[in-house]
A = this chain, B = another copy of it.
Amino acid sequence: MKEVRVSLIGYGVVGHGVVDVLNRKRDMLKDLGLNLMLTSITDHTGTITIDDGIDVDKILRERTLANVATSSMKGKEAIAAIDSELVVEVTPTNIIHGQPGLDHMEAALSGRKHVVTSNKGPLVVAYSRLKKLAKDNGVMLKFEATVGGTMPLISLVERTLTGNTIFGIRGVFNGTCNYILTRMAEENIPYSHALSEAQDMGIAEADPSLDVEGVDTAGKVVILANALFDLNIKYNDVDVTGITGVTPEALSLAKNRGYAVKLIGDVPALTVRPTLVPIGSPINVAGTLNSAAIYTDLSGTITVTGLGAGSIETASAILSDIISIYRTKRLNA
């Protein structure tokens, strides 16, 4: 049985999902030969150290750690002080400067701890630097949860399509935009109405600009390009157009000719823009689904679809990354 001490940094929606999933999957993980021990949780209010007797359900009912923290340690300080070999980093993302996640990841990797994250910002800002830091310290940096939510894209390419050369990846990487475009086409309503509906349903945020302007999708394009195509690009290398200019008339015209309009991210073209997709295409998914077509030399085109977001779904991608760290041999290491 491989014992792994895990510390969690960030206790928002995804953090709660991680605690819940690690707790629920304890026995299944032991069957795989992995004893994952959640050693600590840290948020912006402090740190709680977890030991065997602790009531996980009680912690899950707390929105922050303010009432249960056992120490005032935060961020880098907590990462350095806590005895763990793997850090799950799920603080809020910032795609411009990458903080506070960037500091957290640098502290963890420098301290020879593996990092598993759903936080796009640090990877968009400093992918190459973080990857090098991981390599120099003999640990791994895994980030399946940053792209496509529950849709297993990075691991599908790295673990399952190994042997293939990947020519390109195109897909729907933002569930909010896809929901808005789907509703506009279904009901023949303008953008503003579909946006309001999405906000009422909690699918779009009060300030939806990161989603609807294509910023979130472009961040995912940066991550895919750097991780799977070995490029070294930044956010500004992506040509981005969002969905705010799409009209119901354009959607209706497209539909009559057998097409849907989707916000498509394309690697290695490095574009994000509303794009005509044949209605019968497997990447033409509805609602909040994400999709990706992977173009390969041997396997042809493989398409995968799945839910774009969700607390448990994101935690599931994080769990899959954790397991892969301990199951994958590095033959050429």
B156 in contact with A152 (CB, 8 Å): yes
As a 0/1 sequence over residues 30 to 49 of chain A, the CB contacts with chain B under 8 angstroms (1 = contact) are: 01111000000000000000
Interface size range on A against B: 35 or more
Could you say which residues of chain B place their CB within 8 Å of the CB of A71?
none
In the bound assembly, the distance between CA atoms of A150 and B164 in angstroms comes to 11
Nearest CB of B to A154, in Å: 9
A258 at the interface (CB under 8 A from B): no
A residues 277-308 in Cβ contact with B at 8 Å: 280, 282, 285-286, 289, 291, 296, 298-307
- Across the two chains, which residue of chain B brings its CB closest to A278? B286
In the bound assembly, the distance between CA atoms of A307 and B301 in angstroms comes to 7
Nearest CB of B to A18, in Å: 11
- Across the two chains, which residue of chain B brings its CB closest to A333? B33
A256 at the interface (CB under 8 A from B): no
In the bound assembly, the distance between CA atoms of A209 and B84 in angstroms comes to 59
As a 0/1 sequence over residues 164 to 184 of chain A, the CB contacts with chain B under 8 angstroms (1 = contact) are: 110000000000000000000
Most chain B C-beta atoms within 10 Å of own C-beta, residue among A1, A160, A306, A319: A160
B332 in contact with A33 (CB, 8 Å): yes
In the bound assembly, the distance between CA atoms of A155 and B91 in angstroms comes to 31
A151 at the interface (CB under 8 A from B): yes
Q: Interface stretch among A55-63, A73-81, A322-330?
A: A322-330
A303 in contact with B305 (CB, 8 Å): yes
A286: contacting residue among B280, B285, B305, B317, CB under 8 A: B280
Q: Interface stretch among A21-29, A189-197, A265-273?
A: A21-29
In the bound assembly, the distance between CA atoms of A29 and B331 in angstroms comes to 10
In the bound assembly, the distance between CA atoms of A59 and B160 in angstroms comes to 29
A315 at the interface (CB under 8 A from B): yes
A228 at the interface (CB under 8 A from B): no
Could you say which residues of chain B place their CB within 8 Å of the CB of A316?
163-164, 296, 298-299
Nearest CB of B to A286, in Å: 5
A327: contacting residue among B150, B161, B328, CB under 8 A: B328
Nearest CB of B to A97, in Å: 31
CB-CB under 8 A for A304 and B304, given A29-B163, A163-B323: yes
- Across the two chains, which residue of chain B brings its CB closest to A286? B280
A159 at the interface (CB under 8 A from B): yes
A162 at the interface (CB under 8 A from B): yes
B317 in contact with A25 (CB, 8 Å): no
6 contacts between A and B (CB under 8 A): A161-B320, A163-B316, A282-B289, A298-B312, A300-B306, A303-B306
- Interface residues of A, Cβ cutoff 8 Å to B: 1-2, 21, 25, 28-29, 31-34, 150-152, 155-156, 159-165, 280, 282, 285-286, 289, 291, 296, 298-307, 310, 312-313, 315-317, 319-320, 323-324, 326-333
Give the top 4 A-B pairs by smallest Cβ distance, nearest first. A33-B331, A33-B332, A298-B316, A163-B319
Q: A29-B163, A152-B160 are in contact. List 15 more A-B contacts (CB 8 A).
A: A21-B163, A21-B298, A150-B299, A152-B161, A152-B302, A156-B160, A159-B159, A162-B320, A282-B305, A298-B315, A299-B313, A301-B306, A302-B305, A303-B306, A326-B331
